[in-house]
Structure 1
Amino acid sequence: MTPSNPDPDPYLTPGYRPGGATLPRETPPGETPPAEGGTSFTGPDDSHNPTDGWAAAPLTAVLVVAALVVAFFVAYAVWFVID
């Protein structure tokens, strides 16, 4: 099994010429990929924007659970003091 070499092949490097490195301006056209078009249309289309805030049912459920937890600890404290 031959280990893979993470370094690129220098003969496939854009602008490579035998005998040494080249200046960036010496890279012939067509050897480098075109520049990116921009980032204005890169994400998904946000066509569904829910309204801000909580709906009534989840908010009510959270408040009921919180009230039950508080009532439990108050009852436990009262029972602890009485006993």
Structure 2
Amino acid sequence: MTPSNPDPSDPTPGREGGVPPGETPPAEGSMSEAGPRNDPPKGWGAGPLIVIVVLVLLVVVGMVGYAVFVHD
């Protein structure tokens, strides 16, 4: 029986100094859709604001009605 070599000369890539070109990730310029949109919308739309205002008005009317009912 021959003893196994404790330091085999395995041609594993990346063991020597430097990184071979096939092991590097792609550059950020080659990735599509990596950044923000060109013209993102600013602020809220009219629909959600109208719904919020209506809900707030309903709550205020309900509180005033409750205060008048309890006061009587």
TM-score (structure 2 length as normaliser):
0.51
User: 1:68 pairs with 55, 58, 61, which one?
Assistant: 58
CA–CA distance in structure 2, aligned partners of residues 21 and 66 of structure 1: 76
Deviations 1:27-57 (A, max 9, x none): xx97xx5211223444537657442012223
TM-score, length basis structure 1: 0.46
Number of the residue aligned with 1:59: 49
- CA-based RMSD of the aligned residues comes to 3.4
Aligned length: 60
Bigger RCO of structures 1 and 2 (CA < 8 A, at least 6 apart): 1
Give the share of equivalent positions with the same residue, in percent.
Answer: 23
Segments of 5+ residues of structure 2 without an aligned counterpart are 10-14
* Uncovered stretches (5+) of structure 1, i.e. residues with no partner: 1-17
Equivalent position amino acid for 2:61 in 1? A
